[in-house]
Each structure stands twice: as C-alpha cells, then as structure tokens.
Chain A
Amino acid sequence: MIRAALALLGRDLRLAWREGGAIGTALGFYFAVIVLTPLGLGPDLNLLSRIAPGILWVALLLAGLLSADRIFHNDYEDGSLDLLTLGPLPLELVAGIKSLAHWITTGIPLTLLAPVLGLLLNLPIESSGFLVLSLLAGTPAVSFVAAIGAGLTLGLRRSGVLMALMILPLYVPALIFGVATVSASITGPASPWAPLMILCGISLASLVLSPIAAAAALRAALR
C-alpha cells in the first residue's frame, strides 16, 4: 500500500512538474495581486506594512484556490480517476495524496514567494520568518480543504466561482490565525506561537478529515 501511495504521489508530482503551467499560473496570480494592492492604496508605507500580513494571506488563499480545481480535474478527464477508484488504495488515501501533491506543487512555492512579496508591501524583514512559518503551517489546510471543493465541483461547468463561494468560508479560521501569527510577530502584544500552534492544529485536522469528505464527494461525482 505504501509503495502504491508513493508511486501515485511521484506520478502526480512529475505530472505537475512537466506541465508546469499550473504552478506558474498560481505564482503569477499571487505576484499580480500583491503588485496591484499598493497601487490601489496609494503612498502610505506605514498603512501598507500594517495590512501586509492580511493581504499576503488573502492573496495566497485565492491563488491556492485558483489552482485547486486541477487536483482531480485532469485525472477525471482522461479516466485515470476511475482506474484509481478500482485500484488497491482506498479512495480517501488517493484524495489525501492528491491534496498533498497540490500542497507540494502549489503551497510550498507560494510560501517561498511570500517573503519576497512581503518586501514589496514593506513588511518588516524580521517578521519574514514568522510569515514563512505561518504559511508552512497553514497551506496544508488550504490544499486539503480545497480538495473537498474540487471533488464536489468535479466535472461541473463554471466550477471556479462556485468553489470559491463554498470553500472560502471554510478558510476563515486558517486566515484568522495565520494573520494573527504574523501580526503578533510584528507588533505584539500577544505571542505569535499560540496562533501558530492553532494553525498547525487546523492543518492536521484538515489532513485527516478533508480526504474523507473529498473521497465521498468523488464517489458521488463518479457514480
């Protein structure tokens, strides 16, 4: 089972890497949103650095969501998803591995880009560490919860907007604690570690629960 799981993960990573388009699109979208924000706000560096954690997090959620309908879509189109349901792995594990692949190919690149974009938003350089930590702790939840939406909207037309409406409310806790972590590291007064721990808890819980919901959604869609 472990071998099958690793093989599936390797295949998904290779596919994402060779296609390249999805990763590039998400990064490009993130970059574009962050560039537009200061232009929309006007010249106020203090304001910018105060709202930088929130903007970096919100834009990342959108960028992650934007690329998330890809999690099952290609495999659904070419029929390999049907094969996977018949294979040795439980569908829950398949959904989990595909979410993990999405996190590795989207969550981690976005996380690595974030501190660079933080410079554009005048985010204090000392808090880059907590920005990266909070994103590392929070982006698994982004990918795994997005997989539920991807499963529910599988094969639907106009799935993007529908997915945003369904999934964005579920991102509220991750967003609150993610921004709380970064803000606390800039201005205090609370410790940034407490929200970071909650963020880890949210990610771990979504790691277990989301694949179950996503697999159920896939079964409903494929039947």
Chain B
Amino acid sequence: MISLANPTRFLELVRIVLPWLTGLTVILFAVGLYLSFFVAPPDYQQGETVKIMFIHVPSAWLAMMAYTVIAIAALGSLIWRHPLADVAGKTAAPIGATFTFLALITGSLWGKPMWGTYWVWDARLTSMLVLFLLYLGLIALWEAIDEPSRAGKAAAILALVGFVNVPIIKFSVDWWNTLHQPASVFRMGGSTIDPSLLAPLFVMAGAFTCLFLLLHFLAMRAEILRRRVGALQQIEAQRAAA
C-alpha cells in the first residue's frame, strides 16, 4: 500500500487542478481560434491557407513533446522505479499518436495547395511518420504484455531506444535539404514569422499544451483507478478462494 501513496497524492492534485485546467483550455482555444480565423492576416505568399499552420504546428510540437514526456517517464520507471512513471508513459502514448496523426493529416492538406502534393518522402515527413510508427509500437507493446510491471519496463526500454528519432525530426530540415521549410519559430537569430501571425500561433500552442495536460491527467487518473480496481478484485478473489 506504500506504493499507492504517491498516486493518491496525484489524484488529489488532479482533483484540485482539473477544473482550472479545463477552464484555461477552453478559454485559450476560444481566444486562439478567434485570433486564428478572424484576426490573423493572410500570408503574403500563401494567403488564407497559412491558417492551417495554427493547427499543424502546435500538433507537431505536441507530438514531439508527448514523446519526450514518455522518454522522461521511461527514465523515471527504469531508474527511480516511480510508480507514477509507468502510468504517465502508458497514457501519453495514445495522446501523442493522435497529435502526430493530426500533424501528418493537416500537413498533407497544407502540402497539396502549397507544394502541389499531399506527400513527399523528404527527411522531415519521413521522420514524423516514423514517430507515428514508434507510438503504434509502444501502444502494441503495452497491449501485448499482461503483467503491468514488465510491460512498463519493456515499454520504457523501447521508448528510450526510439527517442533518437526526436532530435532527428527537429533537425532534419537543417541537416538535409528538404521540401519542408526550415524552422521558423525556434531558430538562431529569432523567429521569421511576423508578430501578427506569431501571436495566434503561440496562443494555439498554449491551448494545445493545456489540452494535452488535461487529457493526460484524465487518462492517468483513469489508469490509476483501473489498476486499483484490478488490485481490489484480486484481493477479493483471494478472499473468496480462502
């Protein structure tokens, strides 16, 4: 029961934070979408199509951030054996996969009118697709191993091995020449996006981050409760047998 102490505190934290986080997410999305669609000017080259950026770029950031969260959780479960780390890693995978999928789809819809194609096999697009496959592998591994502690360790090892892909995604546009444009926000010498377009992008990024945290907290809470129910059922079964 000692190992449940931390999850208990976590559940308490979630109970307090959840209403605030929900409110913040709703407000940020309302403001961000309003700025994106009614305030932000069209781009001088791309016109109104540039608005796909406000969904595409935050999704891609969150896709990488979710994997980073999984990798940190993997360290937590392998080195410190923190009971929450397994739960955090397991529940972040489907959310990250969804954001990756969203980034791929919106990118594809953006690519057709701008580049003239839905898909090319350049380094950025390929490494992002590999990230999606890595997420699928992690989810499948969690599904395949019944025993939670072994599944946690196995998934943590796989997550750390796959982490090499994250810097490859980030720097693919700098290391190789790609059809995808180079970094425009986090780069040496400041952003190359005009403030009038950058502001809605950051608000949307904040909204996506809050959404990720919200979903992750909810999923973690569900997973902790699921494990508790499982443990209680086991105790009950043992008592019935005895």
- Residues of A in contact with B (beta carbons under 8 Å apart): 148, 152-153, 156, 158-159, 162, 165-170, 172, 176, 209, 213, 216-217, 219-221, 223
A165 touches B150 (CB 8 A): no
8 contacts between A and B (CB under 8 A): A148-B161, A152-B157, A162-B141, A165-B136, A168-B133, A169-B130, A213-B157, A216-B78
State the majority secondary structure of interface residues on A: helix
B141 touches A166 (CB 8 A): yes
A81 → B minimal CB distance (Å)? 15
B141 touches A152 (CB 8 A): yes
Given A153-B144, A166-B140, A169-B134, is A216 in contact with B157 using a C-beta cutoff of 8 Å?
Answer: yes
A213 touches B153 (CB 8 A): no
CB contacts (< 8 Å) of B222 on chain A: these are none
B158 touches A166 (CB 8 A): yes
Contact with A along B118-132 (1 / 0, CB 8 A): 000000001000100
Give Cα A205 to B158, complex, Å: 16
Give Cα A176 to B145, complex, Å: 31
CB contacts (< 8 Å) of A156 on chain B: these are 144-145
B140 touches A165 (CB 8 A): yes
Question: Which single residue of chain B is at the shortest CB-CB distance from A172?
Answer: B130
Give Cα A168 to B140, complex, Å: 13
B134 touches A162 (CB 8 A): no
A166 touches B137 (CB 8 A): yes
* A158-B144, A220-B157 given; 4 more Cβ-contact pairs under 8 Å: A167-B137, A172-B130, A216-B157, A223-B150
A220 touches B153 (CB 8 A): yes
Q: Which of chain B's residues 136-165 have a Cβ closer than 8 Å to chain A?
A: 136-137, 140-141, 144-145, 150, 153-154, 157-158, 160-162, 165
B81 → A minimal CB distance (Å)? 12
A172 touches B144 (CB 8 A): no
Give Cα A176 to B168, complex, Å: 14
Give Cα A179 to B67, complex, Å: 29
